[in-house]
Structure 1
């Protein structure tokens, strides 16, 4: 997994009347030296800060300190970068420059991300977003969402990563080809981490097309590096090395040590795959040196892992164990549970604050409307009283009250229906999240531990074992393989990858095929009509209904054959699931957990369910109105 950082640089702005011309000249000159002579640039920024501070020019002081932090960050002097950023925050408040304050928070988040201090990353990104939302700065919000995507990529929460990248794409100005190219590149990387290489290539190609519309060395670098990553995953190692070497050369123009370290790791991996171990080791040692010098945990973790594989292949078992222990040390540090909890806490705080603001705004609007209605009602009563027709007034008041009661009853009924729908959606969404969490825990936790155990056992010298010890050794390896396969199967049943990577029809086809391969039930799948394009939560509900029905046929009905049929006709989707099992009494089983889960999802889909069961088999028929789904 790779961490993608897009550093947000605060742009130079023009100074207003009364500002120091000398400070502006120093800042502009220093900015020009940032890429060629950063030490000289820092000296000029220092002079600009002293001059600004002496004359009380707070905006100049802020910019001098902030740009000094950026230069130190580019030089991988992260402690110094944080020092200047923190100091600049005070002057952004004095200068009443909220955009500068937000940019400082974002850049501090970038530094903490390079250092692997993820709790502080989330804290500073979310502070920056809050300010940018107030300023309605869509470009800056898009950049920050992209950075949040990189954060969740680093801790292997790829669904959240993709969610924030999609938000970034939505917020990014459509004429900002550079930013759009960067986001498409990150989306491709996100898809590569879940093994969806076709989508990976599509997104990388979009980024490549946009890079041709602008002259931007950094975007060109990322395009080459991303294609190198794609071909590495695709098994085209020589092609990958070609792209990675192009990226390494392009890195000289942007002078970024962090990404140079990443390239060394990737080149080491590619040469390892080609069994060119001396070249691979050379690149990985360069990556380690860079990771140690710059305190980048992620690069060291990856390099140690690859070095352990190389030594294992060359039967240097002792050194392989040492490298593997170092790899696990850095991995544990990067994925510390305290960091994950803190990130979730900050994200929830941010979402809660947004909801609180929305609720407060709605309450204020309702209060204003109520006050307006109250004034109109008072005026109406006064007018009737002035006329003096008491009888007519009484009749009008009675009619008004009766009509209001009817409206209120309708509103209460509509609200109750809406609350029921919200509850259903929340229950189903909560169940899916819990399934995904359990599947992730099984896959990343238990399966990872079993793989490490197998790795260590497989490395034992067996030539000195007795026949009995060899038998126990082979039995242990076989049992571990079976355990890994069982955990993988349970994980896939809880959160099937096909449900996220493909559309509904392909996902159901794959599920039926897997069930045919692993159970005695012979399932036939048929689909008629146009291809469905539905929201993901709708597809998930339909998939879970079919999954539950087929599981019931296997576990309870003792069926040998089953049919799953989806038929789209005009605006209707008709789902039929039938088997030749022993059937059941629907009135007796109506309160069963399985049938209740099916009915809950049918209600969520606003669909009709018909059940027909006898000793010759059971048929479930579900009719869905697609017009109603469009309104969800």
Structure 2
């Protein structure tokens, strides 16, 4: 009630005075904590932007655009969020407000964390670079925290903890009462993923109590959901349902659609684990309805178009300013020469104009070529996304249904023989492995290029799974320190490297009877070397018939212009060595 009265007072102030102070006051309101409908929040900042425009107050316009971008992101309307965010960045850059430029880039990246991780990281890193270069701690505290969220989503938990603690340290130094509970909640989330459930609940409750005092309704909803997740991980389903249902009405009322979607999906999963099919289906249908309203192809396409339009406009503006500066210098030079050099000056001007014209024509041609290339890439990407969605939604769902059906069949066949149950378990395990393979394929299809960091994370995840499944085999994965994380592979090259490693490790587990498996990636003289070796029983290469696995590895190596060598000695072990002679391009 108190915040509503403050809001009415500020709106009245704008209507009667329209001065900079009242505009800045509205822009400084803590949006997430306002207990008023989202439509009212949007109208408030649209009116504030218009009032700032009437008095030509560009900083006020940019501030209102920033708040609109944030409000639209909470509603899951990402095209509008991106549009207002880019407009705010342009105004802040014009005004030379580096702290706001850094903050807006980072906020745009954070809002895209579920819809476009690649773009999210690019914007976030851009904002982080500006803030670090200018030593803007007031902005870095939030950027570090949000960058940690991106790392957590990508399962890079140690990196997430590193950035969360960096942000929390600055917030404590500045006594940031609003930001501290966010950092504490994020740390708690990582502890939960690390299965440190007691510590996770302790941190979440600490954050919750602070937010209840602040009347931060959305923050409270997030904490309820997070505590519910911890109980779910502990398989305390009744307690988990209790907390998720506390969060759900708040997220619905505040139109926080991302959280609403997640709450519905979590409740569906809990009831599924409790074998309550009706409730699970009810909440899953609710989840799909919200998801479809947020993530649709047209919105993603529009966000991409806005980003391209912003970058193109920025480059054209820089080019125009550069050409204008050259022309002004030439004009001053020519004016000082006088009438004695008039004929030479006119000849030079004619020559210079013709040169500029040719340069402009060349750049226009290059721009048309670039736009045509971008359009072709967009069409290819849309096709990839369509195919990957079909694979995920149709084949993925069917495989999941098969696993569920087999599990139900095993439960129902209480009198079945041990051989029958083992056969059903084998089919279930094979289907699960097929799902993992399908996810790997979808992962590669959704990307035009793959960074070495992405590939390394994927290989690490596979080796960890293999290690957990093979207790008697010790795994070692070593990556040379001189390989930059931002090396770029095409999706075809990256996927084939991953498949060759996967096949070599699986062969060692099946046939080598080894106690250790070693995987190494190194770089020498513009070549990558990937070696998978074991200390198993080995085999005679000339006497052993090569099966589909070895032939497939050689075929994949040829497809990426690589060389595959297999070395094996009986009772000593085997090695598979892949050499890629082409050097990956850097971004």
Regarding TM over 0.5, the answer is yes
Residue 436 of structure 1 deviates from its aligned partner by 9.0
> For 1:313 and 1:143, how far apart are their aligned partners in 2?
41
Instruction: Give a deviation string over 1:69-112, Cα, whole Å, max 9, x none.
Output: 76696224211112222222222112111010011111111111
> For 1:66 and 1:121, how far apart are their aligned partners in 2?
16
The aligned counterpart of 1:158 is 117
Matched, 1:81 2:41: yes
Residue 283 of structure 1 deviates from its aligned partner by 0.6
Matched, 1:135 2:89: no
Q: Which moved more, 1:336-345 or 1:104-113?
A: 336-345
The aligned counterpart of 1:29 is none
Q: Please list, as runs of the form range in 1=range in 2, the aligned pairs for 1:16-165 lying within 5 A after superposition.
A: 37-49=2-14, 51-52=16-17, 57-59=18-20, 62-63=23-24, 74-155=34-115, 157-165=116-124
> For 1:577 and 1:482, how far apart are their aligned partners in 2?
24
Matched, 1:536 2:495: no
The aligned counterpart of 1:324 is 284
Identify which of 233, 236, 242 aligns with 1:276. 236
Query: SS of the residue aligned with 1:172?
Result: helix
The aligned counterpart of 2:397 is 449
Residues 184, 207 of structure 2: 8 Å contact kept:
yes
Identify which of 182, 186, 197 aligns with 2:157. 197
Mark the runs of 5 or more structure 2 residues left unpaired by the alignment.
345-350, 467-475, 505-510, 512-517, 533-540, 546-554, 566-576
Matched, 1:311 2:271: yes
Across the two proteins, how many residue pairs are aligned to each other? Answer: 508
Residues 237, 270 of structure 2: 8 Å contact kept:
yes
Residue 509 of structure 1 deviates from its aligned partner by 9.5
The aligned counterpart of 1:168 is 127
Residues 262, 299 of structure 1: 8 Å contact kept:
yes
Residue 270 of structure 1 deviates from its aligned partner by 0.7
Residue 504 of structure 1 deviates from its aligned partner by 8.6
Flag the 1:260–1:362 CA change in 2: closer, same or farther, 3 A. same
Residue 304 of structure 1 deviates from its aligned partner by 2.0
> For 1:537 and 1:369, how far apart are their aligned partners in 2?
42
> For 1:262 and 1:438, how far apart are their aligned partners in 2?
32
Flag the 1:578–1:187 CA change in 2: closer, same or farther, 3 A. closer
Flag the 1:500–1:443 CA change in 2: closer, same or farther, 3 A. farther
TM-score relative to the length of structure 1? 0.64
* Larger Rg belongs to: 1
Residues 49, 64 of structure 1: 8 Å contact kept:
no
Residue 577 of structure 1 deviates from its aligned partner by 8.7
Residues 508, 543 of structure 1: 8 Å contact kept:
no
Query: SS of the residue aligned with 2:226?
Result: helix
> For 1:458 and 1:593, how far apart are their aligned partners in 2?
34
Residues 577, 620 of structure 1: 8 Å contact kept:
yes
> For 1:533 and 1:478, how far apart are their aligned partners in 2?
36
Residues 392, 442 of structure 2: 8 Å contact kept:
no
Residues 32, 218 of structure 2: 8 Å contact kept:
no
Residues 33, 215 of structure 2: 8 Å contact kept:
no
Flag the 1:278–1:356 CA change in 2: closer, same or farther, 3 A. same
Flag the 1:573–1:66 CA change in 2: closer, same or farther, 3 A. closer
TM-score relative to the length of structure 2? 0.69
Flag the 1:283–1:537 CA change in 2: closer, same or farther, 3 A. same
The aligned counterpart of 1:233 is 193
Flag the 1:220–1:510 CA change in 2: closer, same or farther, 3 A. closer
> For 1:349 and 1:297, how far apart are their aligned partners in 2?
27
Query: SS of the residue aligned with 1:251?
Result: helix
RMSD: 5.5
Matched, 1:301 2:252: no
Flag the 1:445–1:205 CA change in 2: closer, same or farther, 3 A. farther
Query: SS of the residue aligned with 2:173?
Result: coil
The aligned counterpart of 2:437 is 486
Instruction: Give a deviation string over 1:286-329, Cα, whole Å, max 9, x none.
Output: 11121222222222222222222222232222112212221222
> For 2:564 and 2:407, how far apart are their aligned partners in 1?
57
Instruction: Give a deviation string over 1:420-471, Cα, whole Å, max 9, x none.
Output: xx99xx99x979x969969975886557534664577468688778999x99
> For 1:578 and 1:47, how far apart are their aligned partners in 2?
71
> For 1:141 and 1:363, how far apart are their aligned partners in 2?
25
Flag the 1:318–1:527 CA change in 2: closer, same or farther, 3 A. closer
The aligned counterpart of 1:219 is 179
Query: SS of the residue aligned with 2:113?
Result: helix
Q: Please list, as runs of the form range in 1=range in 2, the aligned pairs for 1:376-395 lying within 5 A after superposition.
A: none
Flag the 1:37–1:481 CA change in 2: closer, same or farther, 3 A. same
Identify which of 143, 146, 166 aligns with 1:186. 146
Residue 622 of structure 1 deviates from its aligned partner by 4.6
Residues 244, 263 of structure 1: 8 Å contact kept:
yes
Mark the runs of 5 or more structure 1 residues left unpaired by the alignment.
1-35, 384-400, 402-407, 516-524, 555-559, 583-591, 600-609, 613-617
The aligned counterpart of 1:342 is 302
Q: Which moved more, 1:264-273 or 1:114-123?
A: 114-123
Residue 182 of structure 1 deviates from its aligned partner by 1.4
Residue 152 of structure 1 deviates from its aligned partner by 0.7
> For 1:188 and 1:244, how far apart are their aligned partners in 2?
17
Flag the 1:71–1:114 CA change in 2: closer, same or farther, 3 A. closer
Instruction: Give a deviation string over 1:251-302, Cα, whole Å, max 9, x none.
Output: 1343211121111111111111212222211111111121222222222222
Instruction: Give a deviation string over 1:388-425, Cα, whole Å, max 9, x none.
Output: xxxxxxxxxxxxx9xxxxxx9xxx9xx9xxx9xx99xx
